[in-house]
A and B are shown apart, each in its own frame.
Chain A
């Protein structure tokens, strides 16, 4: 089997494969079915350039493509058939939409001859996916395929990245034509603004220089645009402390003296206090999500806000902005740095010195809160605590990085995800991959598959709760089939849907409705899949288990049976100001009420 000659007539399905290759795609995740069969028929002709990963559920294929995309910055591709295949992609598409992940989802559709007649496995997936895609296409003619595929990749990967769905009827896949590849993009309504406006840039620099208590809030945009080096230079030149949101983690190294950590609902007290006290808040590439702002009307009440975002509709959406800058995070930071370079050195120097006091004040708060409240650290108990798992993982990460070995972490959604964000040290961009905006349980295992295939030389840790694990664990079978060896799964197993249980404990009088959860023997399940599985119940066994998993050439599942009813602290009760933090059951951080 080989691909047709360049000038030969070929099927729409062959054109789809060639379009993917032209866009630089070499791996796709999917499951075949009736309406996408012509595409799968063509695939073997391109197998040396286009590797297909057969997932066990389309949701898994979507999350795997997301993991691939988020860890590489390239467009992830997933494929499904019509009807249930397409609807199973809805969750990962919605997830990619909320987290601005570049994703192209290709779905087969019933033949155009029966479209709209409730044909077998017909679902209006373009209609369904309108509110969760950046754009979508219904392709009924083979001649449209090259241009649509090119547009889809262009839209998914430029401006604010996001998911694009391409639904191609079976007859269009089967029809023959000689493709025209060089048609220019026809997107008159799409021109993302990349460069920040000069006057606004100048204004932002002036505001930052005039600030006494400034803060930088770094979000997903910093990672997506590859702006870490520029961010670091900007923070260091100005001497401004940096906060990283859940999706900003890794965008600024946490061991840096200016790094403060994560804000928001499960952010640290000192970080949220700093936000409430700051006089200038410079948000680069974050969207002021409600998990960051808490009650938006009382968020950063003393701050003039500078907001840099590539999407104009994000600016002013949740938080009033004094200096809006529409543009790409890296390019805007470059422009800011250029402007700063033209300012008199002594002035910049003086401001930086003055800010040492502000940083000292924040560090004092940090010492006070993180040191005082034992629940922010490991409680005094001999049982296996979630904290033990994270402390051991962190030690392993430090040790292996020191040896120059790469690792990435994929977390799922819930308590274990917040502990990962809080308790692990994030140093490099694209090493922390999680489902943020959509909060999709079941994300981690399939996403880890995508990350592992994109980075075969690194070790990928999937940290997951026992609830989320049971939603998509069948993708372990995909790992086995694909001979993936570099995924290590750490289940933080507390026998509950833990985050919901925590809310029930704190806010609903301990009515544990629908949250106690049983599961199989996960280690035995791993063995059934053909990978190593280990149950860990004692504190002393954690480090050796992690070391052994890392050293093992193959997928390993570690089932950490942790203390069941442990809460993630601090927590801002929903709808309250981020100045209102619980640091233990019934206990507010002292001096709360900013």
Chain B
């Protein structure tokens, strides 16, 4: 199935390679990947969308990487997910008014107007982005770029980034009031990570 994994990593050269290497090793395909700064200086945040059979092993082994601070599988959590798409479509002067109307009704916006083309932009849920692209197809898409997904768990807690120095191992669960922390141990161990002793 498709999993959405959020990883907080140290902003070091090569860290992306290390993360990708673990996924590549199993022959899993990465559907989308975004990396950028988090709220903590020196800490980057990755959102990976991966088609994987045994994602728990992957997340545990990600936790084992020295520069990985924390890993969350947010697949089954309430999250805010966003993706941006830029679509360049044919836009002769005669068609522009119609296109602009369509763009507004779809919650998109016009990012650029050229002599014969327009660049349309939408930032929304991945499925909404998908629907918008379908809407554009009949217009003749000349070029398209999707950003890849970013995800954040809902709620008042600090989210996945609550404490960027979480430890792989026993204490991982305590640091994250929201989101399902990927505890680096199997199910029965979950209780242990919650610190019920």
Contact = CB atoms under 8 A, between A and B. Distances in A.
A127 B185 CA distance: 28
A316 B61 CA distance: 12
A520 interface: no
Interface string B45-76: 00000000000110011011111110000000
Given A138-B14, A197-B170, A324-B185, A312 B66 contact: no
Interface stretch (A183-191, A231-239, A283-291): A183-191
A322 interface: yes
Nearest to B13: A138
Contacts of A188: 10, 69, 164-165
8 contacts: A127-B17, A131-B25, A135-B66, A138-B14, A189-B67, A190-B168, A312-B60, A313-B57
Contacts of A311: 64
Contacts of A198: 197
Among B61, B167, B169, B196, max chain A CB count under 10 A is at B169
Interface in A124-179: 126-127, 130-131, 134-135, 138, 155
Contact of A189 (B22, B68, B197): B68
A189 B188 contact: no
A524 interface: no
A312 B189 CA distance: 10
B186 A316 contact: yes
B63 A312 contact: yes
A189 B69 contact: yes
Interface string B156-197: 000000001101111100000000000011101101100011
A329 to B, nearest CB: 15
Given A188-B165, A323-B188, A326-B185, 16 more contacts: A130-B14, A130-B17, A188-B10, A189-B67, A191-B171, A193-B170, A193-B171, A200-B192, A311-B64, A312-B185, A312-B189, A313-B57, A316-B185, A316-B186, A317-B57, A326-B169
Contacts of A192: 169
B91 to A, nearest CB: 42
B168 A322 contact: no
A315 B67 contact: no
Contact of A312 (B9, B18, B68, B169): B169
Contacts of B17: 127, 130
Interface of A: 126-127, 130-131, 134-135, 138, 155, 187-193, 197-200, 311-313, 315-317, 321-324, 326
A89 B172 CA distance: 35
B29 interface: no
B65 A189 contact: yes
Contact of A315 (B10, B168, B185): B185
B62 to A, nearest CB: 9
B2 interface: no
The residue among A155, A312, A316 with the most chain B CB atoms within 10 A of its own CB is A312
Contact of B21 (A131, A138, A315, A322): A131
Nearest to A307: B186
A324 B188 CA distance: 7
A311 B9 CA distance: 19
Contacts of A200: 189, 192
Contacts of B60: 312-313
Contacts of B197: 197-199
A191 B169 contact: yes
Which 10 A-B pairs have CB atoms at the shortest separation, nearest pair first? Answer: A316-B186, A312-B184, A313-B60, A193-B169, A191-B167, A135-B66, A197-B192, A188-B165, A312-B185, A189-B69
Contacts of A315: 185-186, 189
Contacts, number: 87
Contacts of A131: 21-22, 25
B14 A126 contact: yes
Interface of B: 9-10, 13-14, 17-18, 21-22, 25, 56-57, 60-61, 63-69, 164-165, 167-171, 184-186, 188-189, 191-192, 196-197
B192 A189 contact: no
B52 to A, nearest CB: 15
Nearest to B20: A130
Contact of B168 (A127, A197, A312, A324): A312
Contacts of A187: 66
Contacts of B64: 311-313
Contacts of A316: 56, 185-186
Given A312-B184, A321-B186, A199 B192 contact: yes
A126 B171 CA distance: 30
B189 A324 contact: yes
Nearest to B196: A199
Nearest to B25: A131
A239 B129 CA distance: 64
Nearest to B68: A189
Contacts of A155: 66
Contacts of A197: 170, 189, 192, 197
Given A199-B197, A315-B186, A321-B186, A326 B170 contact: yes
B21 A326 contact: no
A270 to B, nearest CB: 30
Q: By CB atoms of chain A within 10 A, which of B171, B185, B188 has the most?
A: B185
Contact of A321 (B13, B56, B188, B196): B188
A130 B188 CA distance: 31
B105 to A, nearest CB: 46
B86 to A, nearest CB: 31
Contacts of A190: 66, 168
Nearest to B54: A317
Contacts of A193: 167, 169-171
A190 B25 CA distance: 22
B117 to A, nearest CB: 37
A189 B18 CA distance: 14
A317 B10 CA distance: 26
Nearest to A317: B57
Contacts of B65: 135, 189
A321 to B, nearest CB: 6
Contacts of B169: 191-193, 312, 326
Given A188-B165, A189-B65, A189-B69, A324 B186 contact: yes
Contacts of B68: 189
A313 B10 CA distance: 20
A557 to B, nearest CB: 40
A305 B97 CA distance: 69
A315 B186 CA distance: 7
A189 B42 CA distance: 13
A317 B184 CA distance: 11
